[in-house]
Structure 1
């Protein structure tokens, strides 16, 4: 990972490696315009400008021989100069991927050949494929029977299991559609759960538990919580101790005083000290707590629905001394002018999520503030760089540090779960020499400075490319 060697390797080596990653991510985008072509050419040019520093540091070695190389005679690198001209001629190159052909060679030649005695390959491979076809036909037949039975059962019992991670076929799905039938029979066995479809289905079901565990916060973002919470009922005081959040009471009272009493869709911002008095009473005593929340975003280029990502919010335990708190991006701009992912980081903040909760009213009562899911987060500030830049020069990543209040405690507060926009990944900035006290378990907890890792996946890379 490029971010791990920041300040350790010479800047030229880091830039050369980063440019290769930028070149790969940019050139594999499903939709490319002239601006992206310019970025691809710039990445290639910067790589060539710094590649000699890799040789100068004796860091360029053969993959097999491990011997030091003093040249860049690599055919694939030579082909990189043809990428942009090819895009101009045939469009995005990812549509011409040879993955399908290579996969067919594996499944139809290599794998069958491994089952032979290495004599008379053609005959044995054909026999293997014949047997495989008979098994597949049998599986298709049984799948059709099982599918028809499951459809009859679903029609007889429309109850929705919100806790299931399996795909839910809603009333808007045409079971007679050829594409749906093909996906069921010959598609990937690992189905991507479509929480957009599931959210639409449960929103029209009058029997679904409220507040809905699967819902849309925007046309491009779906959120899913398990129907059964990780902790069904626990007092605020116990949560404060279990999650080590001394200002949780103040954050909750501040939220209730500002927006929480109406239950209407509003934005909550983290601004300055808590306004509510430290001893202000809360209209509730207990909380429902989840240790994870799943979020699914539409593809940046609108071509598909990627798998959902999980934001973990696990407290301290015997196996995790510091807990497991993932970073995420929340929107704090209620103007609706800039929405993720087109907005980048504009109007958004990076946080560590430490709690996902639902306030529980006294038994037998219904209150507006119990209709919203809340999160307790701790802010990560973007550190300005030289000459007012937001990105560190060598890494071209945002540098983050834990925001602190005047009392020396982390800057935490309550945000609505509706404001969650994206999972993200932060990497500790170890510096020239890593602190020996940092370990795999405590680095995310104890490191003072982080990089916002834009290379965590291509969807996130495209979203913050111009931030």
Structure 2
């Protein structure tokens, strides 16, 4: 009899099947487990081994995605097999997914802001000029059409921890799906289109198999720009305007192959491409492969331009990941601010060049751009080119004819055409490698792996789709909440359920946490918290403090404060966006000393906005605590003892960071107690190292030893957005 768990009979059937395909062990291990003393019968399962479970999944669970097809490719006398899905069926599956239906975009938009509503906004793909232009063109030709932009990405990835075994997956998604969903693998908004062969073509003398993907796809010559006609000797200069490659001329050259094979090479050379035969994009009427070469934050910036910059005298590390490059970029400016250059070379051009590239890096990742922010993006590139001579002066470079550096000139136009870079950043599809390549390979016996990988993926997808169906059936009102955390935390400030230290004596707070004026600050806080009339003068506050007794002798202390995502109905676990520590020195059970950690934070002392430093101030958190219940007129909400740094003034003219000193009064650190809710986020301070770093400085004591700091604007995209 059919049940709500069909084609499974019971919830136990479904839960075991789901665990086996999404979290469980190998197929052989599952069969051995279920074969233990008739375990399957004792659990009342519909299946008793992996084969029986697979027959249920293969025969009775529907699959909303097209099946993989195996084909053979013969090239230069050798045959290679590859697996792929029908691309039209894949598009239909994405566009027809009921979980995505309410979020799909079906038409282009022009968005404007500003007092006169003339400043254009670029964000989602449908806010760009490309969609708008093609919508009008197709409406005139066919009428009543919907544009479905196809975003295809590919990248070779290793599928083993050791060795060279690789896969070359190709992914597909559509621009109608909001980018906030497309960037999350858990939403399954990308489809594995296929696996390209990775067998080296040793019998072919050409080295084309080793060209970067963009060069291969576009057919341009190595060293030239794959998007515009710029040749290698021109790549290092910044021009006022760049033309796109002439697609009509290139298509005309490609069309001469059958009629004039002898002159085909010359025709292609004149058009600026290699003599390729029938490229895949030749007969696509609404596709321009050269416009489709879009910005790539991961490979062009982090693993391209910034990698070059780091190698120009800072590090020669190899095999550095994108995340590691990002970590280096966060601290790069602070390392060179006081750097002494050889031969009395002025450091100002170096500082300006590095700052301008970092500005470009962070501005390029904005999830929303306007005409104004695009102007800032272009100006940062101009500043780099105006100061890049310093690398020649230092003997580091002779020229800057680097394709990835040149690619930056096309970012502004691409954003205007296709929306912001997070619409097509390959950093997001890199995460798909784990599920769709690495895990799939590990599930095979490593022989004829692609046949096994595609079957494994089809079964996994069926289980995931059935899981979505059951969630809808059991809770039809559940929905997906769309939230962006790119530029604002939009998160919840949370402490642990229980204090890290109960009933800490006030005297111990002073001694162990370095909170010298804790009790005085606490009296001041209580006086101000109880007062409800007109603002008190400083003299009045000081007088009342003298007559304020503390009706308690201990407080409860927390060692960590977190900012987490609010969470929604589809995410069980909140994600930690930021954390702040205030922990005294301690010893492990083995006697090892763990140094104290008291983080610096950005506080909204009022009224701070989403952008701009006005209304903010930096402080060091020494204690996070709550008061005992029952203190008259005072809330029991969490509080923090803050040691303040000086207020913001004008940023430095060259590196444009804010300089801060410890705030002092009569030679003592200025401190106060504030509600934890005033803490906006963590703040990273660069010590002002000077020409030589003092030997006694360490990461554990530099906040106390150093007197001058710079506020790091490159901690993350959110901090950059504020500053």
Distance 1:270 1:143 in 2: 62
Partners of 1:236 and 1:287 within 8 A in 2: yes
Shift of 1:83: 1.4
Partners of 2:443 and 2:456 within 8 A in 1: no
- TM-score normalised by the chain length of structure 1: 0.69
Counterpart of 1:395 (choices 643, 647, 655) is 655
Partners of 2:562 and 2:576 within 8 A in 1: no
What is the aligned partner in structure 2 of residue 199 from structure 1? none
Provide Cα deviations, 1:238-297, integer angstroms capped at 9, x if missing partner. 21122122211111111112x2336x8x99999999665578521322211111111248
Provide Cα deviations, 1:53-81, integer angstroms capped at 9, x if missing partner. 0122134xxxxxxxxx4111110111111
What is the aligned partner in structure 1 of residue 599 from structure 2? 326
- Specify the SS of the correspondent of 2:586: coil
Distance 1:421 1:29 in 2: 20
Say whether 1:377 aligns with 2:642.
yes
What is the aligned partner in structure 1 of residue 109 from structure 2? none
Partners of 1:6 and 1:432 within 8 A in 2: no
Distance 2:714 2:438 in 1: 33
Partners of 2:489 and 2:718 within 8 A in 1: no
Distance 1:313 1:175 in 2: 44
What is the aligned partner in structure 2 of residue 286 from structure 1? 554
Distance 1:268 1:422 in 2: 30
Matches within 5 A, 1:279-358: 281-296=549-564, 307-318=576-587, 323-333=596-606, 338-342=607-611, 344-358=612-626
What is the aligned partner in structure 1 of residue 395 from structure 2? 58
What is the aligned partner in structure 1 of residue 80 from structure 2? none
Partners of 1:320 and 1:441 within 8 A in 2: no
Say whether 1:405 aligns with 2:405.
no
- Specify the SS of the correspondent of 1:308: strand
Say whether 1:125 aligns with 2:125.
no
Bigger RCO (CA 8 Å, 6+ sep): 1
Matches within 5 A, 1:432-451: 432-451=691-710
Q: Structure 2: any 5+ residue segments left out of the alignment? A: 1-330, 341-346, 567-573
Say whether 1:458 aligns with 2:717.
yes
Report the RMSD for the aligned CA atoms in angstroms. 3.9
Distance 1:419 1:370 in 2: 15
What is the aligned partner in structure 1 of residue 248 from structure 2? none
Distance 1:429 1:260 in 2: 38
Distance 2:583 2:540 in 1: 27
In structure 2, do the counterparts of structure 1 residues 291 and 104 end up closer, same or farther at CA, with 3 Å as the change threshold?
Answer: closer
Counterpart of 2:523 (choices 226, 239, 253) is 253
Matches within 5 A, 1:11-410: 11-59=348-396, 69-101=397-429, 108=436, 123-134=448-459, 176-177=477-478, 179=480, 220=490, 222-257=492-527, 259-261=528-530, 281-296=549-564, 307-318=576-587, 323-333=596-606, 338-342=607-611, 344-361=612-629, 365=630, 367-382=632-647, 384=649, 390-406=650-666, 408-410=667-669
Provide Cα deviations, 1:291-311, integer angstroms capped at 9, x if missing partner. 11112489xxxxxx9743111
Distance 2:489 2:442 in 1: 48
Provide Cα deviations, 1:108-152, integer angstroms capped at 9, x if missing partner. 457767888998xxx42121232354356567778998x89xx9x
Distance 1:268 1:224 in 2: 32
Distance 1:92 1:78 in 2: 19
- Specify the SS of the correspondent of 1:87: helix
- Specify the SS of the correspondent of 1:368: coil
Distance 1:129 1:270 in 2: 73
Counterpart of 2:677 (choices 418, 441, 449) is 418
- Specify the SS of the correspondent of 1:445: helix
Shift of 1:96: 2.2
Partners of 2:365 and 2:420 within 8 A in 1: yes
Larger radius of gyration: 2
In structure 2, do the counterparts of structure 1 residues 96 and 444 end up closer, same or farther at CA, with 3 Å as the change threshold?
Answer: same
- Specify the SS of the correspondent of 1:329: strand
